[in-house]
Structure 1
């Protein structure tokens, strides 16, 4: 039996011990499957989250524009 088992990995993820990127590493090393990644994280393995910065505009950064 391998450790950590999927149930352990899920518990650690739920506790905040693992990030999504660390969970992706488990898939890359074939410890869990993409389907198991989705089961644990609730996110699609094949559609990574998109990061959008809705902060400052260019004009706020450069007042002379």
Structure 2
């Protein structure tokens, strides 16, 4: 599924221009079945991105 809307397009443009930077602690901890266990960390701005730790989910 694609999640394109006005906000996501604006966010991409601001990132390209260097006007927006994601905060160090800007992630969600969620319960999801994954190969590494039941706890995952999700990037709130990229719905399909899940990681084993917050450090792995950083860009």
What is the TM-score normalised by the length of structure 1?
0.31
- Between structures 1 and 2, the one with greater helix share: 1
Larger radius of gyration: 1
- Between structures 1 and 2, the one with greater strand share: 2
